[in-house]
C-alpha cells in the first residue's frame, strides 16, 4: 500500500469510527475483528465542594457504551463487569448505549450485563433510543438497575443520602437537564449521568458546581493523533473526545466505553472501565 493510499485508508477508517457513535449502525459488520484489545482500568479523582463528609472517598465504577451485539466480543463485556466488581465500588453507573442496532440485542442486555454487585443506576444512549428504548430499559430494570430518564433518585450510601441525576440522550433530542435536576437537593452529595458529553454545555447554564459522567464518543475508537479530535468536532459535532474537561462549573468526564460501533476494531482507544473516587473540598 503506497503512503497516500494508506493515509486515505486511515482517514476513512477513523471517520467511520467517530461517526459510528453518532449515527445508526446500519452498515454491515466490518470484515475484520480485533477481539483482544486490552481492557484498561482507569482511575480518576474528582473533588466536589458539596460532598457530605460520609461520602469523602466514595468509589463509583463507570461502564459505558457496551454495545451488546456482533461488534463487541461478549467476553470483553463480562470482563468489564468483573473489573467493575473488583473495584468494590459503593455505586456503579452505566452511561448508555447498551445495544448497537438490532432489536433482538435489547433482550440480550439482561444476560450480558448481569452480575453487578453494587447499587447500579443507568441512563440510555442514542443507540438505545434508535433501537428499542423501552425494551432496553426493561432489561436493565429486571437486573435491579435503576434507569433514569430526565429524573433523579436518592440512594443511601455509607448511611447518608446521595442523589444521582439522570439526563436522557441529547443527540436524539430527549435530554431535559432542568427537568432531571428538578427536586435534586442543592448543597448535597450528587452526581449527574448523561450519555452525550455535550450535555455539559446545557448543565453549565444551571450555574452550580457538579460532576457529569458521560460516554458516547468511544474516545474516537480509531484514535489518530491530530485527526480524530478534528473529525469528532467537525463531522460528529462532539468537541469533548475523551477524559476530563471543565465546562463552566461542570466537571465533565468522557469515558471511552467498552464496546465497538461501526467497526469491530479499536486503535489507540483501549476499552475502559473507570473507578472514580469522590473527594470533599474545593474543586480544582
Question: What's the pLDDT band for 12 if we cut at 50, 70, 90?
Answer: very low
Q: What percentage of the chain has pLDDT greater than the value 90?
A: 71
The Cα–Cα gap between 125 and 168 comes to: 7
Give the residue among 197, 272, 266, 215 at the shortest CA–CA distance from 14: 266
Burial of 33 (0-12, 13-18, 19+ CB in 10 A): middle
* For the chain, the helix, strand and coil percentages under 3-state DSSP, each to the nearest 5: 30, 25, 45
User: What would the pLDDT profile of 73-129 be if each residue is shown by its tens digit?
Assistant: 999 999 999 999 999 999 999 999 999 999 999 999 999 999 999 999 999 999 999
pLDDT at residue 201, rounded to an integer: 97
Cell readout for 12 is 476513512
Contact 219, 256 (CB under 8 A): yes
Give the residue among 129, 216, 201, 215 at the shortest CA–CA distance from 172: 129
pLDDT at residue 23, rounded to an integer: 52
User: Architecture of domain 3-24+37-280 in CATH?
Assistant: 4-Layer Sandwich (3.60)
Q: What is the mean pLDDT of the chain?
A: 87
Question: Is the confidence at residue 226, as pLDDT, over 90?
Answer: no
The Cα–Cα gap between 272 and 191 comes to: 20
Q: Which residue has the higher pLDDT, 87 or 265?
A: 87
* 12 CB-near residues (< 8 Å, 6+ apart): none
Torsions phi, psi of 132, nearest 5? -160, 70
Q: Which residue has the higher pLDDT, 25 or 237?
A: 237
Cell readout for 67 is 454495545
The Cα–Cα gap between 44 and 264 comes to: 27
Give the residue among 140, 202, 142 at the shortest CA–CA distance from 167: 202
Ordered by start, the domain boundaries in the chain are 3-24+37-280
Amino acid at each position: 500500500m503506497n503512503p497516500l493510499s494508506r493515509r486515505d485508508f486511515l482517514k476513512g477508517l477513523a471517520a467511520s469510527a467517530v461517526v459510528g457513535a453518532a449515527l445508526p449502525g446500519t452498515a454491515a459488520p466490518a470484515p475484520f475483528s480485533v477481539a483482544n484489545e486490552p481492557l484498561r482500568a482507569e482511575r480518576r479523582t474528582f473533588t466536589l465542594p458539596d460532598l457530605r463528609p460520609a461520602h469523602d472517598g466514595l468509589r463509583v465504577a463507570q461502564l459505558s457504551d457496551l454495545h451488546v451485539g456482533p461488534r463487541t466480543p461478549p467476553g470483553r463485556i463480562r470482563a468489564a463487569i468483573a473489573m467493575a466488581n473488583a473495584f468494590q465500588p459503593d455505586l456503579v453507573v452505566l452511561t448508555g448505549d447498551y445495544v448497537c442496532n438490532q432489536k433482538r440485542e435489547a433482550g440480550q442486555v439482561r444476560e450480558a450485563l448481569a452480575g453487578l454487585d453494587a447499587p447500579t443506576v443507568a441512563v440510555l444512549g442514542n443507540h438505545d433510543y434508535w433501537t428499542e428504548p423501552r425494551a432496553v430499559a426493561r432489561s436493565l430494570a429486571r437486573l435491579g438497575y435503576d434507569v433514569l430518564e430526565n429524573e433523579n433518585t436518592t440512594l443511601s450510601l455509607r448511611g447518608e443520602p446521595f442523589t444521582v441525576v439522570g439526563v436522557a440522550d441529547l443527540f436524539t433530542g430527549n435530554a431535559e437537564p432542568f427537568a432531571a435536576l428538578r427536586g435534586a437537593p442543592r448543597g448535597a452529595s450528587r452526581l449527574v449521568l448523561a450519555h452525550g458529553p455535550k450535555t455539559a454545555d446545557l448543565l453549565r447554564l444551571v450555574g452550580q458546581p457538579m460532576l457529569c459522567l458521560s460516554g458516547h464518543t468511544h474516545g474516537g475508537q480509531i484514535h489518530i493523533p491530530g485527526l480524530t479530535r478534528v473529525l469528532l468536532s467537525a463531522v460528529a459535532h462532539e468537541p469533548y473526545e475523551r477524559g476530563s474537561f471543565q465546562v463552566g462549573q461542570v466537571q465533565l468526564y468522557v469515558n471511552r466505553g467498552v464496546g465497538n460501533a461501526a467497526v469491530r476494531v479499536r486503535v489507540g482507544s483501549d476499552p475502559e472501565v473507570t473507578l472514580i473516587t469522590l473527594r470533599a473540598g474545593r474543586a480544582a
